[in-house]
Each structure stands twice: as structure tokens, then as C-alpha cells.
Structure 1
Amino acid sequence: MGLRAFLNDEERTTLTEQVDPRFELPALAVQEESQPTVFDDVEGYQNVRAVANTLGSREMIGRALDVEPSAIVDAMGSAMDDPLSIEETAAPSFEHVASEPTIDEHVPIPVFYDEHERQYFASSVVISEDPETGVTNCSFHRMMFEEGNRLVMRLVERHLHDIYSRTEGGLDVAVVMGVHPAVELAAATSFAPEKSELALANRLLDGDLATAAVDGIEVPADAEIVMRATITDERAEEGPFVDLSRTWDRTRSQPVVTVADLYMRPDPYARIIVPGRTEHAHLMGIPQEPRIYRIVENTVPTVQNVVLTPGGCSWLHGVVQLEKRSEGDPKNAGMAALAAHPSMKKVTVVDSDIDPADPAAVEWATATRMQPDEDITVIENAKGSSLDPSQDYDRGTLAKWIVDATVPGNRDRADFAEVTVPGAEEIDLADYQ
């Protein structure tokens, strides 16, 4: 099951006028992020379309996982507990296009932001095999186009970095773009090294993921674009890049990736993820939510949901929803959440009647159920995220806070209930038109 199967089931915005991948395409992509945006005519690329925003809302992510948005955490957590090995192989949908390609002659590589004007792949999933365990690893890594068949890759010190560090003479990988959203969510998950993200994706897709081998590396058979490449021992400057906080990240010396062979589907979709925007935030935050949930659950068993909020970069701010049994529950839940995700600096704890994914509902609870002098806990001099530009860089510390936006325990809950208009939720305006 691939990207096209997902798009066929979704309402989408289709733009037929020609768009320039430098600035114009990303500017259009962020106009409406709640449903897929398809670009039928990308300037300079006659036979290539582009698609953005397949993960632009929690509602769409729920549809990709075939669950309600409120059940995303449970669906991800259950799949992480029970990944499903892939037994189905299929003929690849893609075909060989070029060896040692000049990449930007075949695939649009957007310039997302001005000032530095770097060309970046932000949707690139790198697939490799651990030579010692044989486990396939999939993970997102941004790639800056340098020239010809050369990219410079941001290699964060996680599983792929470990595999790379144990491989002499460069690591052979496949770089995949344009897959089902469930595969992207799996690739964005910090999974145990002994487990395969492809198996996680297969479980999320109820066993409907088929793979094909590209020079010995298994990749999703329905991928739109595949680059067979090597992460070399050569280094080059990578960045600056607009990161999750929507601020410029610093420049680093990173590995050069050389592309040996390029494979593409006929009339492929180039997958576009605009850095720092909603899809980027969802891919960073949603895979973290099940882990936070479980650690909070060990402390407060009545926790019901956890959401890392897009306004907080889906990384720095979160909301915990629980059924409060005692006055200490919100503070305990908040401390557990901060411990579970050390990059988070603000946790808002809400009651079970507040949707943690609805910013207006969370703000309403904060406005009507919280007093700052009693319900805010500040934790000073803590280690936070390197993505937070407000931290004290000299000391590497910041302050964190817990906001208890639950109904005070000594008050009648009825005094804090939202009064709604009878029948409003059941009415369909179309019946009156």
C-alpha cells in the first residue's frame, strides 16, 4: 500500500498551474495544510508531480492509520509493541532512470526559505541494514543538495549513525521518498535497534506493506522515488536549515552522500515536507506521544491521552489529559511527562472533558480552571532541547513549567462545565440549504 492508494481515498487540493520549486511551491503548500496538496505542473520537470500535506492534520493521520484522531496514541503504541514482519514481496512500481545522476535534473529540490537559499530534501527516508543483526533501519534525515549526485546529510546520533560508525568505507543505503503516511510515521519513530521500522509500518497497515529489493536493500515496493546511495567518509558543511522551531539551525560538518542510481515511478510524486511547518512537527511529535503516555500511565493510571502541540513545535509543549482522582495527580502527571520527553518545557494537564488536541479547548480550560499563583509549577535550571532558541546557551539550561488546568478539587465540577447549544453538534447545515 503506497502513497497513491492513500491519495485516492482523500479529498485534496489540486493545483494545475505551473509552480516554481524555488519559494513558490512551498509557499503554496502552507496555504492549506489540513488536506493533501497536489502540484500537477512543477516548473522544469515535465513528468514529475509533487505532493505535500499528507500528514497535515491529526484527522488525516487518523485516516491513514484507520483510527479516530483520539486513538492515534493507542494505535501507534500497540503497533510498537507488536511489529509485523513483512513476508510479501512485490515487483517494484519504480524503474531505473539514471546512474550517477545530476539529481536536480530529475527530481525537484525546493528552496524553502530565503537568505541562505539552500536546496533540501526534507522528506528523505534512509533505509539500511545493520550488518551485525540484519535488522532493517528506516529513519528520516534531511539532505542538502550540493551538486551533481552529491548530497550532504544531517546524521543525528541515533541507530543509523551507530550502523554508519561500525561500517568501514561508507555505508550503502536506499533513500526513499513518496510512501504511505504510515511508513513515514514508522520511519519517524525512535524504535528499538533490534526492531525494524518497516515491520512497524506493516503493522500500522494491517500487513498490507509489500517490499522490493533494490541492490540488496528492501524498500517499500510502491515508493515513488528511490536513490541507491552511499554515506561516505567524506565531510562537508551542511546547513543552515530551518528546523522545527521555525528558526535557523546552525551549520555543521556532516557526511557526504553520493547517489549511484536513481529509480522513479512513471509520472512520480515528489514528496514535499516544508521544514518547520505542521507536517514536520507531526512527524517529530506524534511518535513520541505513546512513549510519554506509558511513562505517565505508570505514575497516574487514569491518564487518557497525550498530545505534543503544533504551536509548541510538537516538541516543546504538550498536553496531558486525565481523569483526576486526587489533587496531586496533575502535578505528578506533569513531572512524569517532562521526564519522559526531556525536550519538553511546558506541560498543561487537563480534565477528561477537554480535547488535548484542540488548542482553543485547552486555552479555555486554562482560562476558566487555573489560577497562576496556585496551579503553575516552575522547575528551574533543567536541561532542555537544543531546538529551543530561548534557552541559556552558556549553561545549556532552561526553566520548565507544569500548568494544572483541571477543575479545583474543592469546587463543584458543575460550576466548570461548558454549556453547549442543544442539538448543535447533530445539525448538518446542508439539510437547510
Structure 2
Amino acid sequence: MGLRSVLSGSPVTELTEPVDPRFELAALSVQDESQPLVFDSVAGYPDLSAVTNVVSSRERIAGALDVDRGEIVDAMTRATTDPVPLDGTTAATFEYVATSPTVDDHVPIPTYYDEHERQYIASGIVIAKDPDTGVQNLSFHRLMYDGENEFVMRLVERHLHDIRSRTDGPLDVAIVVGVHPAVELAAATSGSPEMDELEVANALLDGDLAVTKLDGLTVPAEAELVMTATIRDETRAEGPFVDLSRTWDTVRQQPVVEVRDLYLRPDPMIRVVVPGKREHAHLMGLPQEPRIKRIVENTVPTVQEVVLTPGGCSWLHGVVSIEKRTEGDAKNAGLAALAAHPSMKRVVVVDEDIDPADPDAVEWAVATRVQADQDIETVENAKGSSLDPSQDFETGTLTKWLVDATVPSNRDRAEFTEATVPGAAEISLAEYQ
């Protein structure tokens, strides 16, 4: 299964006029993030198309994984705890195009924002092999184009950084763009070094992920773009980049990536993720939710769902729904969530009748079930996220807060239940037209 399998048969917005990858592509992408946007023609690249907004909503993600919206976290939990081994390899759909290519001669590398005019691939998944265990790692890393066949890659101190530190000399990798959302979600998941994210994706797809071998690495066989590359020891300035907070990230010295060979499908569809917008938020935040839920369950076993909210950058704000059995459950759940995801600054805990993914429902719960002097707790001088521009940058600390938006245990729940119009859930306007 590949990217195209989730687009066939589902609603898409198709644009037929040529679109400029400098600003125009991004500007059109954010006009309506509710469904995929296919660019049939990209100016300067007559033989390819582009697509964005593939995972721009929880509904779209659920559809790609063939589960109900409320089952996404459980499906990802099952996939990470019980990955499915890959069943051999198959022929790739991509073909060799060039060695040491000038990359933007072959594929568009968008410029999203005008202030600094950096060209970035924000949808690239880097595949590397652990030199000690042989286990592969998949992870997202933004790639700033630096001309010809070179990028500068933001290398966060996580698994790929560790693999590179234990590799003698330059590290050979594959960079894939344009894969099934299951592969994207798996690549964005935080797991143990022994976890092969392709096996996680295979579990999400019920064993139907096709893979192939390329230069000693296993890659998705239906990828739209594959680049084999080397992470060199040389570093250059990377950034600034618009990150999840939708503000400019800082400039850092980061490693140079040299592309060796470039492969494309005969009719490639280039995957575009606009930095700071809805897809970026979902790909960063949603894969963290299973881990947060598991940790909260150790404290409050009746936790129902965990959501990192798009309005909170899918990183800084979260909502936890619980079946509240005793007073104090909500605050314990909230404290556990803050500990489970140290970047989270605010958590709202709601009852199970509130959809944590519905911002209106959550705000309604806060409006009707919260008294600030009783139901809000603050944690001062806590370590937060470097993405939060409001933190104290001298100390890296901030104040976190917990909102208990559950019904008080000593009150009649009927007083806090939303009135409903009889039959509204079953009736349809179409029946009367």
C-alpha cells in the first residue's frame, strides 16, 4: 500500500492550473485543510504532480487506517506493542533517475514563508540502520536545501542522532517522500531502539505493506521519491524554520546530507507538508498520544482518550478524558499526562461524555464545570518545550497548568448534562428535501 491507495475513491480537491512551488503551493495548501489537495501541474516540473493535506484531520487519518476516529490511539498502541514482521521484499515502483543530482532539477522543493525564503523538504522520512543491532530506524527530519545535491538536516538528539554517534565515519541513509500515512505515523512514533517502524506500519496495514531493498536498506516499495544519501561530519547553519508553534525556530549548526542517487516513480506525486500547519501538527502530536495514554493508565486506569490539540500546536496543550470514579482522579490523570509528555504546558481533564478532540465540547466543559479557584492547579518553574516562545529562555522553564473540567463528585450529574433535542441524532434533512 502506498500514498495513492488512500487518495483513490476519497474526496480530493484537484487543481489543474500550474502552481509555483515558491509560496503559491503553500498558500493554496492552507486555503482548505479539510481534504487532500492535488496539484496536477507544478510550474517547472511538467512530469509530476504534488499532494498535501493527506493527514490533515483525525477523520482522514482514521480512514487511512480503516478504523473509527476514536480508535486511532488504540490501533497505534497495538501496532507499537505487537509489530508485524515484513513478509519478504517485492519490486519497487520507483526507478533510478540520477547520480549526484541537482535535486531541485528533478523535484520541487517548496519555499513556504517569505521572511527568510528557505527551501525545505518537510515530508522526508530518513531510514538508517543501527550499526550494532542491524535494526532500522525511521524518523522525520526537516531538510533545508543548500544547492546541487546537498541538504542541511535538523538532527534532534534522538534515535538517529544516537545511531550516527555510534557509526564510524559518515552514515548512509535513505530518504523517502510520499508513502502511506501508516508509514508516516510510524516514523513519527517514539519507541524503543529495538522497534522497527516499518513493522509498526505493517501492523497498522494488517501486514499489507510492500517493501524493497535499496543499497542495503529496506524501504517502502511504493514510495514516490527515494534518495540514497550520506550524513557527513561537516556542519552548516540550518534554519530558521517555521516549527509547530507557527513561529520561527532558531538557527543551529547541523550536519550536511549529500544525496548520492535519486529515484522517482514514472509519474511521481510529490508529498508536501506545510511547516506549522495542520498536517505537521498531526504527524508530530498524534503519535505521542498512545505513549501518554499508557502512562496515564498507570495512575488512572479508567482513562478513555488522550488528544494533543491542534490549537495547542499538537504539542503544548492536551485533553484527557476519564471515567471519573473518585474525587482526585482528574488531577492525578492531569499530573500524569504532564509528566508523560514534558513538552505539554496545559492539560484539560474531562468526563467521558466530552469528546476530547472537539474544541467546542472541551470549552463547554470548562465553561460549565470549572471554578478557577478550585479546579485549576499550576506547576511553576517546570521544564517545558523549546518550541514555546513564551518560556523563560534563560532558564528554559515555564508554568504548567492543569484544568479539572469534570463534574464535581458531590453534585448531581444531571445538572451538568447537555440538553438534547429528541431525534436530532437520527433524523436527516435529506429525508425532507
Indicate the TM-score class for this superposition, using the shorter chain for normalisation: over 0.9
Shift of 1:215: 1.5
Match of 2:185 in 1: 185
Q: Distance in 1 between matches of 2:337 and 2:101?
A: 46
Q: Which amino acid is 1:405 matched to?
A: A
Match of 1:70 in 2: 70
**Mapping of 1:136-151 within 5 angstroms?**
136-151=136-151
Deviations 1:83-134 (A, max 9, x none): 1110131100000111111000111000000110000000000001112101
Asked if structure 2 preserves the Cα contact closer than 8 Å seen for 1:77 and 1:290, the reply is yes
Deviations 1:378-406 (A, max 9, x none): 11110010100000111111000000111
Match of 1:256 in 2: 256
Q: Distance in 2 between matches of 1:55 and 1:426?
A: 29
Q: Distance in 2 between matches of 1:159 and 1:257?
A: 17
**Mapping of 1:218-233 within 5 angstroms?**
218-233=218-233
Match of 2:9 in 1: 9
Q: SS at 2:257's partner residue?
A: strand
Percent of matched pairs sharing the same residue: 70
Shift of 1:300: 0.7
Asked if structure 2 preserves the Cα contact closer than 8 Å seen for 1:79 and 1:204, the reply is yes
Q: Which amino acid is 1:374 matched to?
A: Q
Of 245-254 and 404-413, deviating more is 404-413
Q: SS at 2:282's partner residue?
A: helix
Q: TM-score, structure 1 length as denominator?
A: 0.99
**Mapping of 1:190-339 within 5 angstroms?**
190-339=190-339
Match of 2:366 in 1: 366
Match of 2:429 in 1: 429
Match of 1:386 in 2: 386
Q: Which amino acid is 1:136 matched to?
A: Q
Match of 1:154 in 2: 154
Q: Which amino acid is 1:17 matched to?
A: E
Deviations 1:191-213 (A, max 9, x none): 11011000100001000001111
Match of 1:96 in 2: 96
Q: Which amino acid is 1:430 matched to?
A: A
Q: Distance in 2 between matches of 1:295 and 1:123?
A: 29
Match of 1:22 in 2: 22
Q: Distance in 1 between matches of 2:426 and 2:295?
A: 37
Match of 1:44 in 2: 44
Asked if structure 2 preserves the Cα contact closer than 8 Å seen for 1:88 and 1:209, the reply is no
Shift of 1:416: 0.7
Q: TM-score, structure 2 length as denominator?
A: 0.99
Structure 2: gaps of 5 or more residues: none
Of 2-11 and 268-277, deviating more is 2-11
Q: Distance in 1 between matches of 2:132 and 2:319?
A: 40
Shift of 1:363: 0.2
Structure 1: gaps of 5 or more residues: none
Q: Distance in 1 between matches of 2:91 and 2:383?
A: 48
Q: How many residue pairs are counted as aligned between the two chains?
A: 433
Deviations 1:194-235 (A, max 9, x none): 110001000010000011111211100000000011011111
Please give the root-mean-square deviation of Cα atoms over the aligned residues, in Å: 0.8
1:125 and 2:144 matched: no
Q: Distance in 2 between matches of 1:74 and 1:321?
A: 14
Q: Distance in 1 between matches of 2:210 and 2:155?
A: 27
Asked if structure 2 preserves the Cα contact closer than 8 Å seen for 1:324 and 1:330, the reply is yes
Match of 2:376 in 1: 376
Q: Which amino acid is 2:356 matched to?
A: P
Q: Distance in 1 between matches of 2:371 and 2:317?
A: 19
Shift of 1:430: 2.5
Q: Distance in 1 between matches of 2:342 and 2:417?
A: 33
